[in-house]
Amino acid sequence: MDFRREKWLGGIGVALYLFGFLPRIGFIFRISGIVLLLISLRQLATKFLEDKIFTNFLTGFIISVAGVGLAIFTAILTGAGAFIRYYVEGSFSYQLGALSGLGTTLAVFLIILYLSLVAGSYFYKGSFTALAIKSGINGFKTGGELLFYGAISIVLIVGALVMLAGWIVMLVSFFSLPDTLETQQPSDSSSST
């Protein structure tokens, strides 16, 4: 089976995703990379007859995006509540309470963001582990594990570096896919005598 297209789509997708840190245009690179990665993983899942490759990644992506949206929404609501209470009370002594409310807002925001990052990367790990099993390239499994353990340790600065290493391993793994590979076809359960 020919894997050239999936190899290039996945590799370029990961490369574009890695350029997501660039100011102003990074968001466009990141979205483009995710789209190419999703297309590649969908095609690989179809060719390998393993839906987990695509569905786990898609689930992780949806959890991550929903987590960011929920964190922003919660921060807006709790932050607005703190400012409204401050303006209603209007006293100097309540300014400390307003600052405390903003601190709570930040804490809730970061907790929701952290939990969605860990949950999303757990599904990424499942996707790339299934891809490693089917493709025989263990770099996918290693990259998925680095993403997951990096997400867990993101509260330390080292977690971001571990996640970066995971995406780089993923990049190398995609470009390590052979152009052609024999895959297992579903076996016919009927036997002829």
12-40, pLDDT tens digit by residue? 999 999 998 888 899 999 999 999 999 99
CB 30 within 8 A of CB 79: no
Taking the C-alpha atoms of residue 36 and residue 125, their distance in angstroms, rounded to an integer, is 18
Bridge partners, residue 180, by sequence = 2
Look at residue 127 and tell me whether its pLDDT is greater than 50: yes
Decide if 79 contacts 87 (C-beta within 8 A): no
Beta-sheet strands, E only, within 23-181:
none
In a domain, 185, yes or no: no
Using DSSP, how many helices (H) and how many strands (E) does the chain show? 6, 0
How far, in whole angstroms, is CA 190 from its chain's centroid?
Answer: 42
The predicted pLDDT at position 100 comes to 64
Confidence band, pLDDT 50/70/90 cuts, at residue 105 = confident
**Residue 62 belongs to a domain:** yes
Judged by DSSP in three states, 23 sits in: coil
Residue 191 lies in a domain: no
In a domain, 181, yes or no: no
pLDDT at 162: 96
Overall average pLDDT of the 139-165 stretch: 94
Give domain status of residue 134, yes or no: yes
Determine the pLDDT at residue 12: 96
| Tens-place pLDDT, residues 71-98 | 888 888 877 766 666 666 665 455 555 5
Exposed e or buried b for every residue in 113-145, given b needs 16+ CB within 10 A?
bbebbbbbbbbbbbbbbbbbbbbebebbbbbbb
Tell me the range of 65-69, 89-93, 187-191 where mean pLDDT is highest.
65-69
* The token pair that represents 111 in the structure block: 């907790």
For the chain, what is the domain count? 1
Please check the confidence at residue 192 and state whether its pLDDT lies above 70.
no
Domain of 68, in residue numbers? 4-176
The confidence score (pLDDT) of residue 182 equals 72
**Cβ-based neighbours of 175, under 8 Å, separated by 6 or more:** 7, 11
Task: Determine the Cα–Cα distance for residues 186 and 193; give it in Å rounded to an integer.
Answer: 20
Which pLDDT score is estimated for 190? Answer: 46
Q: Is residue 187, in this structure, part of any structural domain at all?
A: no
Residue 153 covered by a domain? yes
- pLDDT reported for residue 120: 96
Q: For the residues 156-174, what does the mean pLDDT come to?
A: 94
pLDDT at 66: 96
Is residue 76 in some structural domain?
Answer: yes
pLDDT, averaged across the chain: 87
